[in-house]
């Protein structure tokens, strides 16, 4: 019994010490400047860890590049990386933790829309602005939260951009649409049909398939019979790969267009040599195609000793957007740190910012008005495909 009591007392003491040391931590660093923390919230473990880490490193690079600029103003920048594990519950608990830290002024993240949506409710309560590199779901910004911003395109831009590309560049007059009956696939197919017909094209077929099946010859017989100029596939790569393969085996030679659901190396494995002449739309651009992007890739690979992923440059630009807003609001406030509300509004007010990959102007909801959708083409049997076009709103 006695030992148990001792244990309780001991743990209470330890707890108290912890709390006290927390209170006692100074708001200043060794050289006397005040700390400004910027958090990243991305999956650093689990299935999307590679991309989450890439976003974090991009953000870290931007932050370290601008450390000197802020120390002249009398502030020292600090990056606090959080791992949201791609899990909404973990995202929210991280959000609570980082909002409790008074020195955290903004968040770069999240990677997954499903995590961003619940976590941003916490940010909104605490006036901590977030800028997302990769959330495409409509609901992320459609809720009208003051703290939520994104620099990439929305889902509803993908299908219209695909339609535009098909009409202008592929010279498609007729399209056959196959969708996989999921929320993602049918939404995309519906939007594509609308945009394609509005642009003067004709839909000659609109059919659904079942996820998990392996034989799509029935639907493809219809396609072969209609001889469309383009086959649009709204779904993900396991079915997409087989549809492409079986279509080519049936002698359907027309180009195939899809969305980011097809963007996977497994697609190439499944479809094999049939993958040629397949196009897909994606919200992530190829950084090596622009001058500033190339410079970013060079710096990134020499700094971290590895090649950047598609979203690294987006992490970098997100951090730049945040730091620009911060330095501007500090200067407007007479070199003193303004309230979190002011910084939040300054982020939203970002206009004509040119980063390494993106140009950013936030609209009233936090969507980037200059966001682009990129078109990729599999020119040969290898992943990744080549970027062939970019389409803005």
Interface with another protein by CB under 8 A: which residues?
Answer: 181, 205-210, 212-215, 217-219, 221-222, 224-225, 238, 241-242, 245, 249-251, 266, 269-270, 272
**Comparison of 179 and 329: residue with beta carbon closer to another protein:** 179
Smallest Cα–Cα separation from 94: which of 141, 130, 55, 143? 130
- Least distance CB 268 / another protein (angstroms): 10
Cα-based torsion angle of the residue sequence 124, 347, 293, 304 in order, rounded to the nearest 10 degrees: -60
- Least distance CB 230 / another protein (angstroms): 18
**Comparison of 117 and 243: residue with beta carbon closer to another protein:** 243
CA 280 distance to own-chain centroid:
17
Phi, psi (deg, nearest 5) at residue 37: -105, 135
- Least distance CB 272 / another protein (angstroms): 6
- Least distance CB 241 / another protein (angstroms): 7
3-state helix, strand, coil in the chain (%, to 5): 50, 20, 30
- Least distance CB 217 / another protein (angstroms): 4
**Comparison of 148 and 252: residue with beta carbon closer to another protein:** 252
**Comparison of 213 and 341: residue with beta carbon closer to another protein:** 213
* One-character DSSP codes across 274-321: GGTTEEEEESS--GGGSHHHHHHHHHHHHHHSS---TTHHHHHHHHHH
- Least distance CB 266 / another protein (angstroms): 6
Beta strands (DSSP E) in 241-282 are 256-258, 278-282
**Comparison of 30 and 212: residue with beta carbon closer to another protein:** 212
Sequence-ordered list of residues with C-beta below 8 angstroms from that of 19, at least 6 positions apart, any chain: none
Beta strands (DSSP E) in the chain are 34-42, 75-83, 104-109, 130-132, 148-150, 174-179, 202-208, 230-234, 256-258, 278-282, 353-354, 359-360, 372-378, 386-392
Phi, psi (deg, nearest 5) at residue 279: -115, 150
**Comparison of 32 and 212: residue with beta carbon closer to another protein:** 212
- Least distance CB 89 / another protein (angstroms): 23
**Comparison of 65 and 207: residue with beta carbon closer to another protein:** 207
Rounded Cα distance, 102 and 99, in Å? 7
- Least distance CB 337 / another protein (angstroms): 45
Count the Cβ atoms, other than its own, within 10 Å of residue 321: 25
**Comparison of 219 and 346: residue with beta carbon closer to another protein:** 219
């Amino acid at each position: 019994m006695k030992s148990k009591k001792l244990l309780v007392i001991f743990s209470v003491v330890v707890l108290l010490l912890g709390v006290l040391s927390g209170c006692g931590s100074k708001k200043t660093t060794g050289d006397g400047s005040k700390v400004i923390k910027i958090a990243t919230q991305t999956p650093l473990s689990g299935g999307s860890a590679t991309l989450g880490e890439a976003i974090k490193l991009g953000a870290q690079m931007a932050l370290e590049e601008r450390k000197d600029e802020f120390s002249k103003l009398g502030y020292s920048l600090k990056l606090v990386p959080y791992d949201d594990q791609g899990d909404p519950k973990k995202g929210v608990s991280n959000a609570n933790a980082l909002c409790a830290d008074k020195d955290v002024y903004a968040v770069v993240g999240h990677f997954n829309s499903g995590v961003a949506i619940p976590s941003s409710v916490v940010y909104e309560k605490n006036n901590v602005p977030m800028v997302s590199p990769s959330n495409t779901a409509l609901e992320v910004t459609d809720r009208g939260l003051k703290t939520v911003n994104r620099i990439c395109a929305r889902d509803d831009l993908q299908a219209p951009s695909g339609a535009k590309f098909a009409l202008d560049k592929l010279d498609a007059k007729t399209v056959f649409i196959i969708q996989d009956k999921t929320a993602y696939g049918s939404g995309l197919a519906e939007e594509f049909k609308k945009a394609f017909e509005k642009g003067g094209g004709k839909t000659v077929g609109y059919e659904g398939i079942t996820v998990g099946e392996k034989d799509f010859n029935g639907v493809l017989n219809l396609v072969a019979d209609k001889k469309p100029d383009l086959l649009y596939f709204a779904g993900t790569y396991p079915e997409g790969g087989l549809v492409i393969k079986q279509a080519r085996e049936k002698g359907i030679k027309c180009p195939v267009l899809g969305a980011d659901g097809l963007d996977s190396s497994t697609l190439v494995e499944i479809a094999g040599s049939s993958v040629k002449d397949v196009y897909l739309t994606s919200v992530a651009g190829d950084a090596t195609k622009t001058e500033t992007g190339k410079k970013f890739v060079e710096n990134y690979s020499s700094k971290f000793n590895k090649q950047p992923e598609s979203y690294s440059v987006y992490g970098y630009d997100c951090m730049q957007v945040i730091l620009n807003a911060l330095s501007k609001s500090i200067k407007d406030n007479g070199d003193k740190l303004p309230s979190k509300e002011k910084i939040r509004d300054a982020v939203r007010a970002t206009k004509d910012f040119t980063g390494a990959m993106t140009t950013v102007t936030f609209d009233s909801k936090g969507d980037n008005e200059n966001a682009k959708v990129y078109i990729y083409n599999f020119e040969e049997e290898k992943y990744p495909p080549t970027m062939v076009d970019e389409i803005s709103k």
